[in-house]
Structure 1
Amino acid sequence: MSVLPVQSGQSKQSNQVFLSAISPLVGFQRLLGQLNVSTESGRAAWAGRLWRAYAVLLHATLLVSVIAHTIPYLSVLSELSQKRGPFKAFVQTEGYGLGTLLRVTAVFLNAGVTGRKVRDVLSQLQSVSGAIVVESATFAARLRRFRRRSVGLLALLSLLAAAEAVLDLLRRGTGCPAVLGVRHCGWHLLLAPGRFIMSVSYIMVSGQLLLISLLCAAGLRCVHEQLRQLHPEQPQLAERLRQLRAQHQRLVDAHRQLLSAGGAAVTCVMAAALLTAITSTCLLGWGVTYTVTSGRGQPLLRVAPPALQALAAVTVLLAPAEAGQQLLQPLGDAQRRLLRLETRPAGPADRQRRRYLAELERDLATAGDLGLFRLHRPLALAVLNIVYTSYMIMSQFQQAQETACPTSA
């Protein structure tokens, strides 16, 4: 089987298919102005200006959110520290202070580090996918199926993040007068846009790494499809094997860059997430102890959601790194078997070739099925957090009816 010539029309069409397939993956980088992906060259300049304007608006919104978050938090923390001491003041205001600020910082660090790396990975995938689309009749269908799956998955995760943000706003709105005082609640409610963007951004940054990992696996399966069509008696077998191994190598290199992006993102965010998790765990332990000794459940209701949010954030960020690391091992095994197949003589090695292809098929099947299964923990934690926050909102509404809010100072 000789290499099919890449015609200009087919190449342009394959490029359109690839860009259309990856467009759901790069939403957050596009919002930050770090990546510009357009499927129509005539609209590229207009789309670039639009995304840059939106990026400025996004940065301004998050900056206002950080200011609106920091001013009331530090003011109330200072006032309560003089009356009750630093520890009790920190415990009372934690649900409204440090955890959310750390999550905003983590999103910016994560996006800043992964933006350039994701752009490089997508560029490398595009270079190899153009040839695969022409050679493989099924790869375009795989890309379309991949697009539907990625859009559905990101939409589901974004809806969960939006629900969490809305419920969190209701919880903080009902509890704000009792914790921060009436005069600080106006500042506090300005956090609503930033909180929604932050929740969705967490999903976009981590979800796109998982989906690009699945895209690497789809390309490798198409390389495997081409291998299955080879015959030992075929002319120019060694040349064809070298070409397929070059495609395989570029996909593996792209995936290694993807792991590097995931590792850098996890490294940047881990300090903030770990500090939030430790703080929330200590507060949760204090809330459980206080609830058991006093019989009152309000401290537990106040400190449990930050612990759940921190745990969900850590698992969402670790999911792409964990899936990618487990994916890299079968990819390396497949690469070594492909190299051994290339160096074997064509005639006597048919039995060895079939065995290598069977092993390669098993490895690629394993590689392609890893990504989505790694999302069950963050999804479960997101649902648990929403259910628990809903329960706490009802509890706070009931408490607000029984206890009058303090007047403004």
Structure 2
Amino acid sequence: MKARARADGADIIDFGMGNPDSPTPRHIVDKMIETVNNPRTHRYSNSRGIPGLRKAFSAYYERRFNVAIDPESECIVTLGSKEGLANLASAVTSPGDVILVPNPSYPIHQFGFIIAGAAVRNIPVATGEAFFQSLDSAVRHSIPKPTMLVLNYPNNPTACMADLDFYARVVDFCRHHKIYVLSDLAYAEIYFNDNPPPSILQVPGARDIAVEFTSMSKTYSMPGWRIGFAAGNKDLIAALTRIKSYLDYGAFTPIQVAAAAALNGPQDCVEDIRKLYKERRDTLVEGLGQAGWKLPSPEATMFAWAPIPPAFRHLGSLEFSKLLLSEAQVAVAPGIGFGEYGDGFVRLGLVENKHRTRQAVRSIKQFLDTYDHVIEDSEKKRAEAS
């Protein structure tokens, strides 16, 4: 629908995809250009990542989380966190394995294992007692017993946060039941308060069972560069290393060198990116609130997870998203795309500048002000179509 509308000349404001619009910081781009001018870097690279980049990532973990990572045995460079998680799923999953995955969740968290032949059992995106009750029930009532648990905090799409006490309980439970944990920490540096998101690897004993995935995409506005990392349990890192040795030769070496420059270089660009998303968050949340659409202000990530306004809730997230597109020329991601428990919500990415965001808010306000007419027309069209 969005593509057709744009082809017809409509000015669509697109909050649908979490695709950073800011340019990659200049010093990172310059390092890539400098390196690509050396013909020696045009050859095959290292499938587990060049040593300099693995050392830079290990230094980041030491600096940020006070966690020592062995760059040789506990770390691997991936083509973004998405590829790393999917390939690890293929490496360690047998058909019929039961995997515990949050719902709603980023699609690869489920489909990486579904593609590998596993059965996925959903648990809630939460950090309180409901989570641990569901986790305990899943272990007691699943046959065979679950082999892995996927976590994602700060969460995409809900922006839910977790603290170290939560991770400590998860590690204690999963060590007892011999369940591996895959933690997706892609939004570690996109937070808006004084409490940076922790790493599960900060918990003593976590490396016995856990691997954590991170990404350069959001932190340094490098989504198209496709650089991420996995760190933690040596056996899981070895499994991922082995399967990647069959599948790829690693990212282009100049990109890896530039990624090392990003991790080792000045970090004021990260703070600038964080401030940019915070300003956009405030513009969007406050503007929609004034327009009559109340939504929680996310503490982290580049997304707002918005409950569908009551007047439209019966439509579900897909039909509501279609209405926003056709009536307000605003694209959002329907919550059903992240699992059935997301159907009462839509996700809005903080990927438009403040001017465009205000423009979207005005269009949405006009749409909401005429909701009875909009719903009536929508119901007529649906009846005619059926």
Using the size of structure 1 for normalisation, the TM-score is 0.22
The structure where strand makes up a greater share of residues is 2
Higher alpha-carbon Rg:
1
The structure where helix makes up a greater share of residues is 1
Using the size of structure 2 for normalisation, the TM-score is 0.23
